[in-house]
Amino acid sequence: MRVPEQSQAIVIYTGWERHALLGSDIRLSCSFFSWRWTSEDVTFSWTYRPDGSRDSISVFHYTGGMAYVDNKGPFRDRLEFVGNPARRDGSILLKNLDFSDNGTFTCDAKNPPDIVGRPSSVRLLVFEKVPIQAGVITGSIIGAVLGLLVLIVVIYYLMRFLVARRVFSLSVSKHGKKKKEGSQQRQGPVPPADPSKPVRRMAAGARSNQQQRTVVRKTEGVGGGGEEGPGRVLMTIELELTRKNGEKGPGGEGGMGRSAAPGFLSRLANQLTFK
């Protein structure tokens, strides 16, 4: 492929706008695209135009393999070259920013014979405090509260689903006595429950529809090390899975509909009371 002799356009990239805190450092990046190989005579130049002024001054120049930083102007001793010209990077580092550094920085790069191009500018804004973007706090508060609400609802329905499926059941009572019917499973020796410790029982509280009762009792005892014959009971876990009789609501549907008030809304309204 024959490369045409005339130089083609070089495209320079910098940021569009940079925000920085007062007193901090900032790296202004500048890079370019060119169809040619990176030449040894590649040059980078940075110029600065303060906000509100129409003149720009030159603050940085890289040529012939050497970087020349500002030593007389507003950035003396504050500017440093951190780029890599061989990789087409002409970035500079500004240290210890002040409000007077607000302005526009323009980067111009030349890659001979590719010299036709448009310089690119980046605007620097120095803040005392990073401003809160409009609506960020609002949105996050609303989102967090609604998310919490959804989470609570999901957990509630999950618990109800698990209880209905008899994975486990929830009702905590302190050492009550319960009637047991049906099969019982025992493992190992069953010493009497330690009366000094309240036994925590999980008993069925779910509404379900049938009458069978199943009791599973697991007792864990520790086989003693030697002195006492039967092991000491550390914990008794009783799981009682109960299915209760299916029952309709007392009085069924006819309870309140019998009065002479017709209509769906009236029926609904008659269900309410304060007492």
Site residues (vs other proteins, CB under 8 A):
131-132, 134-139, 141-142, 145-146, 249-251, 255-256, 261, 265-266, 268-275
Between CA 95 and CA 79 the distance in angstroms is 7
CB of 154 to other proteins, least distance (A): 15
Nearer to other proteins, 82 or 261 (CB): 261
Rg (CA), the chain: 41
Least distance (Å) between residue 210 CB and other proteins: 20
C-beta of 196 vs 209, nearer to other proteins? 209
The helix (run of H) or strand (run of E) holding residue 266 is helix 264-269
Residue 5, classed as helix, strand or coil, is coil
CB of 137 to other proteins, least distance (A): 4
Residue 242 CB coordination number (10 Å): 21
Q: How far is the CB of 62 from other proteins (least distance, A)?
A: 40
Residue 262 CB, nearest distance to other proteins (Å)? 12
Q: Enumerate the β-bridge partners of residue 217.
A: 238
* Residue 200 or 207 having the CB closest to other proteins: 207
Locus of tokens 């009682």: 240
CB of 136 to other proteins, least distance (A): 7
- Give whichever of 9 and 261 is closer to other proteins, judged by the CB atom: 261
Count of residues making up the chain: 275
Task: Say what the alpha-carbon torsion angle 178, 179, 183, 184 is, to the nearest 10 degrees.
Answer: 40
Residue among 155 and 256 whose Cβ is closer to other proteins: 256
Q: What is the b/e burial string over 41-80, where b = at least 16 CB atoms within 10 angstroms of the residue's CB? A: ebbbbbbbbeeeeeebeebbbbeeeebebbeeeebeebbb
Q: Which is nearer to other proteins, 49 or 267 (CB)?
A: 267
